[in-house]
Structure 1
Amino acid sequence: MPSRANKAEVGADQQSMLYLLGGLAFALRSFNNLNQILEFTAFVASQLTGAEGGALVLFNPNGTIQLDQLHCFDLDRREQIRAEMEQIAQALSAQEPLLKLEGSLAVKIPALEHLLDERLRQILGPDGRLFGTPLLIRNSVQGRLYVFSRQPNYHWTEPRQQLLRLVADQAGVAIENERLRTALRRRMALEKEMEIGSYIQTQLLPRQYPQVRGIRLAARCRVASKVGGDYYDFIKIPRGPASAEPASNRAEPPEPSADSRLAIVIGDVMGKGVPAGLLMSMTRAMVRAEALNGHSPARVLQHLNRAMYSDLKNSSRFISLFYSEYDPCSRRLCFGNAAHNPPLWWQARTREIQPLDTEGALIGLEEHSQYSESCVQLQPGDVVVYYTDGYIEVANTRGERLETAGLMDAIQRAASCYESPEEILESLFAQMDAFRGRQGVHFVVPEPAVELELLFREEISLRPMPVDDTTLVVLKVLPEPEAA
């Protein structure tokens, strides 16, 4: 029968154990510094199991092994043990980059744990005893939690094994929580960056359609993400030389009139997000500068390519661009193409559709690319549709793509049924959405500020989302006014 002294000793051990576990729980709730939590973890592991020390070794995602924390009551030996453990971790990292081989990870991790255990036992010497347990995060081994002792009467009992596993599980929770917090911070920073990029892009796209004699315009850019790579612009080009007299003699640039030529530009930067948006902004500024210098479409594209080649080459991105100029006096549309989707010209008299295309490479592909140009004579009632590949690459629920033939059919229907470019534009988008079908609905990702709240609500709104950025510009030649 246990003596009163033994009962008191057992009670004291239980109180100490509860105190340590409570302290670990408090650290997990309150500490914001992961290193502090893991340092306390190594200490608690050794205290709960009655060992002389504890160590936490992590398997990093880049394939390296790292001694993260070490606790040892023997201060004289602590630095020696730390140095030897770190040498083992570095040697194994150099020889066995196991975590990089995801396909054979399940096979190699047990071998790595066994090898690590054997090396650590060697540095503790014949009098040392080492015990370890896996550090699991989402059922994946991410490291090892160890305790060690040189006491000859130290026994590795089942309760001690359970306590070590309990502490290892808590360390895994702390590491995973820190990763989630880091990912959330990065996501919020990216969301903020995207909001800024989206605002800039919105400000750069034309806010109103220019008034040009004989034509009307309509345009829309529908982006798949907050910042896309699609780009369109309208630029009024004043009549006459751009620099007929020195700048010092001009009070201000001449105001463009209704008879000014109009440059209509559409382009697509490879990729999405902020980098594509920034390149789009740079492209817009340079195209405007070239257009206002009075250059021909081919010369505009050639100058733009040479100016942007080095920047695009370093970014591994390219730009497709279609540049055109409409002359209201002659109704001629002159254009050059840098490998963009050729606009489609619907002729009211014949109801035929003709692509408008010239030879030319992507902007940024080759430094000395040559570009050609061509002109067509537009007639009253004609419609020209500029577009990006988001329209023709849209797919329905069976995986079939709309393609250029589908867009031509949509233009034929819209141009035959509607008079205004706004109605034609609406019809084209409506036909694209109808082709996709409503079965292709996707979940809308909520904003970070309301995401956590929506996780606890059953009402999740659904709406169709574009697969890619889609931009349409519709030019409609107006009928000639009747003579008085």
Structure 2
Amino acid sequence: MSTDLSPEKARRLEQENIRLRRAVEELSILNEIATAISSSLSIDQIIELIVNKCVKHLKVEQAAVMLLEQQQDQMFKTMVRRTDRSGSNILPFRLDAELTGWMLKHERPLLINDFQQDERFSRLVGDDFPIHSLMSVPLLAKQKMIGIITVFNKKSDEGFTVDEQRLLTIIATQSAQVIENARLLVEEQALTIMREEMRMANEIQLNLLPKKAPQPPGYDIAGITIPAKEVGGDYYDFIDIDENRLAICVADITGKGLPAAMLMSNVQATIRSQSLLLPAPNTCMLNANSLMFRSTGTGKFVTMFYGILDTETHRLAYCNAG
């Protein structure tokens, strides 16, 4: 029984072996990336890992990942790696802008093995132009472009192949989902922190506001604040000066959330101390303004009504401040 193969069968077998070796290599690369990436990595760490793997497996001088700002159509985070690990970027600014614009417009892979002959970018090529070849693919998550992976300057003279473009596209598909998941995790963590800050601010505000209103004979006094958010900048207070005089304070503090609550606590401490030392409305407000100005940053404002009710003479002395 003869085991000799015809030239045609031998050629087909060799092609099949090449295809299988390529498939095994691709699976190995993807498994390597998937194994290295864990849920505890930050977005920067994930990007660094991806570009390093691209440089290693695609045998290029440099790789870069650019992420798209979610609120605006512009690139905002870039990670670049070179094989010499110098970290310097060989991508000229004009090419960076042109490449980004082209990818945003077309949202499909780009392969260039000779920049001087490429009609789209040849006008950018000069004598010292550092790029001779590149391959770029979009990062797509849920059919939405979230960034770009680009590799520069293939080390072999043959340039990039269609198979390498397909491999980079597969890497981009896997990477996009990982990056998007990391983004969602960051957003969830930020939301959790914000909720905790709001809870703390609400607790501070509730502790600052009077537990009950005073009830001097002949008067009905009440106070309530309903913030637009969980915590607002509205504040009121009642301060007993003596048995016949009651200080009443109503204020609107700039800002919302924890910063407003912290400023509110500063306002309360200042007004209470000054009202007991110098209860006259104009003097109290002048001193309080001077103290608050020195202890708060620029852009912080408080508008306030401050009055002294004399329950014996039934007179109200007051001033508006802010």
| Class of the TM-score when normalised by the shorter of the 2 chains | 0.7 to 0.9
Take 1:171 and 1:318, find their aligned partners in 2: how far apart are those partners? Answer: 47
Aligned amino acid, residue 237 of structure 2: D
Tell me the matched-pair count.
294
| Contact kept? 1:204, 1:281, Cα under 8 Å | yes
The superposition leaves residues 149-205 of structure 1 with CA deviations (integer Å, 9 ceiling, x where unpaired) of 343445622x43232222123333333333332233233222222222221111111
Is the Cα–Cα contact under 8 Å of residues 225 and 272 in structure 1 kept in the other structure? yes
Deviation of residue 275 (structure 1)?
A: 1.8
Query: d(CA) in 2 for partners of 1:261 and 1:161?
Result: 82
Selected match of 2:154 from 142, 149, 154: 149
Match of 1:10 among 7, 10, 19: 19
Distance 1:35 1:220, change over 3 A: closer
**Partner residue of 2:319 out of 324, 333, 336:** 336
Amino acid of the structure 2 residue aligned with 1:263: A
Change (3 A) 1:107 1:271: farther
Q: 1:15 to 1:310 in 2, by over 3 A?
A: same
Identity of aligned residues (%): 25
Distance across 2 between alignment mates of 1:108 and 1:11: 32
Tell me by how many angstroms 1:330 deviates.
2.0
Q: How does 1:223-234 map to 2 (within 5 A)?
A: 223-234=227-238
Which stretch has the larger CA shift, 284-293 or 162-171?
162-171
The residue that corresponds to 2:168 in the other structure is 164
CA RMSD of aligned residues (A): 3.9
1:283 to 261, 267, 275: 267
Structure 2: tracts of 5 or more residues without a match: 1-7, 111-119
Shift of 1:316: 0.9
What are the residue-to-residue correspondences of 1:9-88 with 2, within 5 Å? 9-28=18-37, 30=39, 32-42=41-51, 44-45=53-54, 51-52=59-60, 55-58=63-66, 66-70=78-82, 72=83, 78-79=84-85, 83=88, 86-88=89-91
Per-residue CA shift, 1:79-121, capped at 9, x if unaligned? 57x54xx1546xx2xx79969xxxxx9689669x976996799
The residue aligned with 1:393 is none
> Could you say what secondary structure the match of 1:123 adopts?
coil
1:123 to 125, 130, 154: 130
Instruction: Tell me the SS of whatever aligns to 2:221.
Output: strand
Please say if residues 98 and 109 of structure 1, whose CA atoms lie closer than 8 Å, have aligned partners that are also in contact: no
Q: In the aligned structure 1, how far is the partner of 2:183 from the partner of 2:172? A: 17
Instruction: Tell me how far 1:318 sits from its aligned partner.
Output: 1.6
1:231, CA displacement in angstroms? 0.6
C-alpha change, 1:97 and 1:272, in structure 2 (3 Å) is farther
- Kept in 2, the 8 Å contact 1:136–1:142? The answer is yes
Contact 2:37 2:46 in 1 (8 A): yes
Kindly state the Cα deviation for residue 136 of structure 1 after the two structures are TM-superposed: 4.8
Structure-2 change in CA distance of 1:116 and 1:331 (3 Å): farther
* 1:327-372 per-position Cα deviation (integer Å, ceiling 9, x unaligned): 222222222222xxxxxxxxxxxxxxxxxxxxxxx1xxxxxxxxxx
* 3-state SS of paired residue (1:320): strand
Instruction: Name the SS of the counterpart of 1:223 in structure 2.
Output: coil
Give the partner amino acid of 1:224.
Answer: A
With over 3 angstroms needed to count, the CA separation of the structure-2 counterparts of 1:232 and 1:33, relative to structure 1, is closer
Aligned residues of 1:59 and 1:66 also touching (Cα < 8 A): yes
| Conserved? CA contact 2:103–2:138, under 8 Å | no
Give the distance between the partners of 1:54 and 1:325, measured in 2 at CA: 73
> Would you say the 8 A contact 2:51–2:81 is kept in 1?
yes
1:235 aligns with 2:239: yes
8 Å Cα contact 1:31-1:37 kept in structure 2: no
Give 5+ residue unaligned stretches, structure 1: 73-77, 100-104, 239-258, 339-361, 363-484
Over residues 208-263 of structure 1, what are the superposed CA-to-partner deviations in whole Å (9 max), with x where a residue is unaligned?
2224222232221111223211110111111xxxxxxxxxxxxxxxxxxxx43111
Match runs of 1:371-410 below 5 Å: none
Q: CA deviation at 1:272?
A: 1.5
Q: Which residue identity does 2:289 align to in structure 1?
A: N
CA distance in 1, matches of 2:102, 2:15: 47
Letter in 2 for 1:225: K
Residue from 298, 307, 310 that aligns with 1:324: 307
- State the match for 2:4 in structure 1: none
